[in-house]
Amino acid sequence: MTTLPSPGPEGIAESGTGGYDRGQALHLQRQVAEGFGTDAGRYDRARPTYPADLVDRIIAASPGRDVLDVGCGTGISARLFQAAGCRVLGVDPDPRMAELARQGGTETEVATFEDWDPAGRTFDAVIAAQAWHWVDPVAGAAKAAAVLRPRGRLAVFWNAFDPPEELRAAFGEAFRRVLPDSPSGGFWARPAIDAYRAGCARAADVIRQSGAFAEPEEWLSYWRRPYTRDEWLDLVPTTGGFTRHPEAIQAELLDGLGAAVDAAGGTFAMSYTTIAATAARLGP
């Protein structure tokens, strides 16, 4: 059985090599991306949000407030932009996720971004929250340029999370014990921000090479979120590939992760860095 890398959030850092490596062809691993919809309610409940300062910065750098949310999932990021006064259209390949996004008030169409038909519609911003690594990078940049108005903004971003040092070591040990042949343990060997920044830089390179955008920029936002043991264990199964492990492996991993949090007092504060690659579409 092939052991899937987890639980780094999706492919950009799971491999331990920095992600967004076209040689890994993460955008072809649709079976992992499509697994999120098996428990869309948990995904919507447990997944972390995104910082308000990044939302505000993207809006301020865009020519208007019409936003396309690529891989919108259950609408976590879309709702933030809507609350800030934007009109948001979501696109997601999973009908289960899309339905939950609609229930939350986000108009959503079911398609991969590469195959989605904009039907002549254009936007002031194209965003992708924790989703751009599932999109073919070259086709995605070209599609974003095609649907953006002149000077419209493409912003693709990810949450990198880092627990306290002692917990990071304990989480890594739990994965190495249960999945000794998996790269999962290596994910915890160093701060996640290192892998995510490398992955984000690769995303920026593809955007740059498209020739349709001004020089990409890296934007960083720092924030923290407290977790109880139960909240953390609610989040872990929503990470890419986790539910593709046999149920006994999932249970053993969750037991090990829960024991680590118990040993740390039952709660901890996660340090988040939201990392964005962003660029303005060229044009008059």
Distance of CA 168 to the CA centre of its chain: 20
Report which secondary-structure segment, H or E, holds 230: helix 229-235
Going by C-alpha positions, the residue among 249, 84, 129 that lies closest to residue 177 is 249
Task: Choose between 7 and 90: higher pLDDT.
Answer: 90
Say yes or no to pLDDT of 281 above 50. Answer: yes
Residue 33: what pLDDT?
A: 54
Residue 241: what pLDDT?
A: 75
Task: Choose between 40 and 125: higher pLDDT.
Answer: 125
Task: Choose between 243 and 256: higher pLDDT.
Answer: 256
3-class DSSP state of 214: coil
Residue 84: what pLDDT?
A: 98
User: In this structure, are strands 123-129 and 107-110 parallel, antiparallel, or unpaired?
Assistant: unpaired
How would you list the strands of the sheet with 123-129, edge to edge? Answer: 107-110, 87-92, 66-70, 123-129, 148-162, 267-280, 217-228
Residue 107: what pLDDT?
A: 98
Give residue for tokens 């001004």. 214
Q: Which of 21-25, 121-125, 280-284 has the lowest mean pLDDT?
A: 21-25
Going by C-alpha positions, the residue among 182, 131, 180 that lies closest to residue 159 is 131
Residue 187: what pLDDT?
A: 83
Say yes or no to pLDDT of 71 above 90. Answer: yes
Find the angle CA(88)-CA(90)-CA(91) to the nearest 5 degrees.
155
Question: What would the mean pLDDT of 150-173 be, rounded to a whole number?
Answer: 96
Over residues 4-45, the pLDDT tens digits come to 233 343 444 443 333 334 334 454 455 555 556 567 889 999
Over residues 168-218, the pLDDT tens digits come to 999 999 999 999 988 777 888 888 998 899 999 999 999 999 999 999 999
